[in-house]
Amino acid sequence: MKTVKDYFGCLVFDDRVMKATLSADVYASLRKTIDEEKKLAPGVADAVAAAMRDWAVEHGATHFTHWFQPLTGVTAEKHDSFISPSPDGGVIMEFSGKELIKGEPDASSFPSGGLRATFEARGYTAWDPTSYAFLTGKTLCIPTAFCSYGGHALDKKTPLLRSMEALNRQALRILRLFGNDTAKAVRSSVGPEQEYFLVDKALYDQRYDLRFTGRTLFGAKPPKGQQMDDHYFGVIKPRVAAYMEELNEELWKLGILAKTEHNEVAPAQHELAPIYTTTNAATDQNQLTMEIMQKVALRHGLVCLLHEKPFAGVNGSGKHNNWSIATDAGQNLLSPGETPYENAQFLLFLCAVLKAVDDYQDLLRISVATAGNDHRLGANEAPPAVVSVFLGDELNAILDAIENDTPYEGVEKTQMKLGVHVLPRFNRDTTDRNRTSPFAFTGNKFEFRMLGSSNSIACANIMLNSAVAESLKIYADRLEQAEDFETALHEMIQKTIRDHKRIIFNGNGYDDAWIKEATEQRGLLNYRTTADCMPHLLDKKNADMLISHGVFSEPELRSRCEIMLENYCKTILIEAATMVTMARGQILPAVERFTADVASRAMVKKSLDAALPCAYESGIVQKLSALTDAIAFGVNALEEALRKAEGADDYFTQSAMIRDDVLAAMETLRASCDEAETLTAKEYWPFPNYADLLFSVQ
């Protein structure tokens, strides 16, 4: 019987396969490209392509595809077979270095935000050798970047790779100042925890809202939701356990380090967490994980819901982005060290993150902005839309001592100067985790908790990498010119703490008093919706920073702003149109049918005994009659709001109209329909209710 160790990564053209199939020279050259981002040497691509083809064909592959991540939020692929005609009328299996390095998919139907005209169809995909190729079914999938004919990035991978390089450049400058001349690279690493819901497919198929939008647009609360907290970490139901078992196997075959699985807080909600890896690979793997989660669910008669808020009244789903930075030798730069000098370096990198989060809190909010996540942020299970940083008591005390030049009452009492002999050692993981914080330090990494469950983690990490790179650049520019390094280092860290301590908050992020303090006293930003925050992507300070580090060009930034707003608008307009269809075509007829039947029964009772009061029937008929009028009025109001929004001249205007008018009309219509559901007999209701959906999978 094969063990996990036997089959782990068996569908990946990983380092083990490359060592076994490539010559020593080719392997060494390719590793240099991967590890040090050196240009690919001539001839290497052909050798790698031949080995990759032979390996894939041995595993039953017939096709290859350049697998990329356009700005649609999902992945894309175009399959080409390996076959080429041979002179004898047969075929040979061919795959060249040219085909490995570059593909040419039709780019005309992918979002570009005005970067090219519709008739300009040419686009290019370029091999990313830092992310391993893999097999799905009979297709070899090659992770690639995607750009336009004019060279503009049309995907999420390209700016992510650029942001990683920007962080690498600036972090190496800092390490050299601390005497580290051996580090060749600094990379960010991520471990994205993935939350999701599982519902029965037969029930899912009966609901237009789930099928068209991924979330329930109507639904009264069931008698029991998550009040008893009995689902969190509870015994996993057999049907779910079988799903998780197959999911793990499929992920492990693809070299994805799925580590933790458990029930989440809400009924039918679960979580999968991997061991973290390099940000680029983690991003590819998370996209692949979401695809596999949904495919495996269907094989078990289930549907995996990745929407951030598929059910009202219970917790939504997030994707906690555990982010850290380390050298190629494995030194975690966000981990307190063994010596005072290492701790001085740690504090500088820590302050770089604090400065980055404060200076670019708007970019971090923008990076998680979607129509779905707007429903989740600020609810009782997710952090607020206000960005803040949790550090814990010990780090807070250390920073306070540095800021005020006072003794640190920690492991040892000492003046907090940053010379190598006087900075005390301090411990790791000495404080509890703050699960209400959007950005929490957890010992050797930061947990960015604002991401929605369906989000690509690329967006958040692009902004995080870039903002920290900017902080490190400012530090390096100053320290490289300093006459006294230790004095300049102390003054810089002290100034950072004073200038940016407003972003540090260790309390309850769910408390309304905190939001008031954050916005009114500390001056932090509170962008509640995508429509509020997205235009600020183009603010001068944001554009200047991102362009200066080469992460985006100005046209690329403008295109992304438009694409994100377009996606927000289209998502909600589809939801609103679905509500109109369901309310008018399903809910109103069902409520009227039940109302008529109740009224008919009352008439029968009266015919038997005119003295019967029929109080129940009269009350129900009266309430439901009023509600049908309210629903009909709500449908008309929503249609009118839709009509006006659809006539907007641009997505900036349209997004504001949707935020202010369409969403309000949707909430009003839902309230009437949900109340009608509570008064209508279940057998009349036209689709499965919350109790069915949340508690049917056993």
Q: Which residues pair with 452 in a beta bridge?
A: 318
Contact 387, 527 (CB under 8 A): no
User: For the chain, first and last CA: distance in Å?
Assistant: 29
pLDDT at 610 over 90: no
Report the candidate in 326, 346, 328 with the shortest Cα–Cα distance to residue 336: 346
Contacts of residue 431, defined as CB under 8 A and 6 or more positions apart, other chains included, come to 391, 392, 393, 394, 395
pLDDT digits (tens, 9 = 90+) for 568-580: 999 999 999 999 9
DSSP 396-462: HHHHHHHHHT-EEESSSEEE---STTTPPP--SS-S---TT-SEEE-SSSEEE---BTTS-HHHHHH
Contact 680, 211 (CB under 8 A): no
Q: 615, exposed or middle or buried, with CB in 10 Å at 0-12, 13-18, 19+?
A: exposed
DSSP state of 234: -
Which tokens go with 40?
A: 């690919």
Q: What are phi and psi of 7, to 5 degrees?
A: -110, -5
Helix 588-608 to helix 615-646 angle (10° resolution) is 160
pLDDT confidence band for 121 (50 / 70 / 90): low
Alpha helices per DSSP H over 123-230 = 157-177, 201-204, 208-213
Cα(575)–Cα(582) distance, integer angstroms = 10
Query: Average pLDDT of 98-112?
Result: 79
Q: Could you give the angle at the alpha carbon of 568 between the alpha carbons of 564 and 572, nearest 5°?
A: 165
pLDDT digits (tens, 9 = 90+) for 190-228: 999 999 999 999 999 999 999 999 999 999 999 988 888
pLDDT digits (tens, 9 = 90+) for 415-432: 444 444 445 555 544 445
Cα(445)–Cα(333) distance, integer angstroms = 9
pLDDT digits (tens, 9 = 90+) for 636-685: 999 999 999 999 999 999 999 999 999 999 999 999 999 999 999 999 99
Q: Can you give the pTM of this predicted structure? A: 0.92
Report the candidate in 75, 71, 27, 72 with the shortest Cα–Cα distance to residue 47: 27
Domains of the chain in start order, with CATH, are 4-155 (3.10.20.70), 163-552 (3.30.590.10), 567-695 (1.20.120.1560)
pLDDT for 414:
43
Alpha helices per DSSP H over 535-587 = 540-548, 554-582
Contacts of residue 503, defined as CB under 8 A and 6 or more positions apart, other chains included, come to 354, 357, 358, 361, 387, 388, 389, 524
Contact 451, 321 (CB under 8 A): yes
pLDDT confidence band for 107 (50 / 70 / 90): low
The residue among 131 and 426 whose pLDDT is bigger is 131
pLDDT for 380:
56
3-state secondary structure of 27: helix
3-state secondary structure of 329: coil
Measured CA to CA in angstroms, residue 302 lies from 63, 212, 387, 448 at distances of: 29, 17, 36, 30
